[in-house]
Amino acid sequence: MNIANTQNLLILGGVLFSIGMVGFLTRRSMILLFLSLETMLAGVSINLIAFSRLHLNYQGQILAIMVLTVAACEAAIALALVVSLYRRKATLDVEAWDELSETLVPKEPEDAIPSVHGSVSEPVHEFPKLVPAGLDPLARPVPSSLEGALETTVHSKPSRTTEATTRA
């Protein structure tokens, strides 16, 4: 493979990666985010194959096959995630899924930065506060929107202790 063909393939890979990056940063639909990510991975794979052919070894081609395998697995997981989230909210807008963040950390408004002199001050950059590991998610109270569904499933299933006492 000559240098001109390699340069054309590298330009094509770079253009694909750039289109994918712009799509990933500007879109709000989850499906378009995943498609943009796949476009970026295709651009990287083309560059790996081009360099592999230029240097006459197969390491880049093998790595490109591995990247495509990981991309296929990522697409399957993304499809399952999109279907699951769509069933829950009937929208695929990324902004609607902001509530999936950490539930134990209270959200602080960005405008609520305390000012020493009463005037508008520069934002204070702090490190994020992490949730301690080992917290039991079941100890958190159930949201009111899910209490009715939870009570019907709990009362509809008989407990094992009552079955064992009725048999004896």
pLDDT tens for each residue of 23-38:
999 988 888 888 999 9
pLDDT computed for residue 30 by the predictor: 82
Q: Judge whether 52 lies within some domain.
A: yes
Q: How far apart are CA 55 and CA 75, in angstroms?
A: 31
pLDDT of residue 109: 57
In a domain, 105, yes or no: no
Beta-bridge mates of residue 93: 29
Per-residue confidence (pLDDT) for residue 93, from 0 to 100: 79
Domain total in the chain? 1
Taking residues 152-162, what's their average pLDDT? Answer: 53
Instruction: Kindly report the number of other CB atoms within 10 A of residue 85's CB atom.
Output: 16
CA atoms of 21 and 15, how far apart (whole Å): 10
Tokens of 69: 């395998």
- 132: phi then psi, degrees, rounded to nearest 5: -60, 145
Asked, for residue 103, whether it belongs to a domain, the answer is no
Give the pLDDT confidence score for residue 10 in this predicted structure: 94
Domain that holds residue 81: 3-96
Residue 160 lies in a domain: no
Residue 11's CATH number:
1.10.287.3510
In a domain, 62, yes or no: yes
Helix, strand or coil, per DSSP, at residue 24: helix
Q: Is residue 108 part of a domain?
A: no
- Report the pLDDT value the prediction gives residue 19, as an integer from 0 to 100: 96
Could you tell me if residue 67 is inside a domain? yes
Q: Is the pLDDT of residue 166 over 70?
A: no
Torsion of Cα atoms, 52 then 48 then 16 then 35, to 10°: 140
Burial class (CB in 10 A: 0-12, 13-18, 19+), 116: exposed
Residue 132 lies in a domain: no
Average pLDDT, the chain: 76
Q: Which amino acid would we find at residue 133? A: A
Model confidence over 86-131: pLDDT tens digits? 888 888 777 777 666 655 555 555 555 555 555 555 666 676 666 5
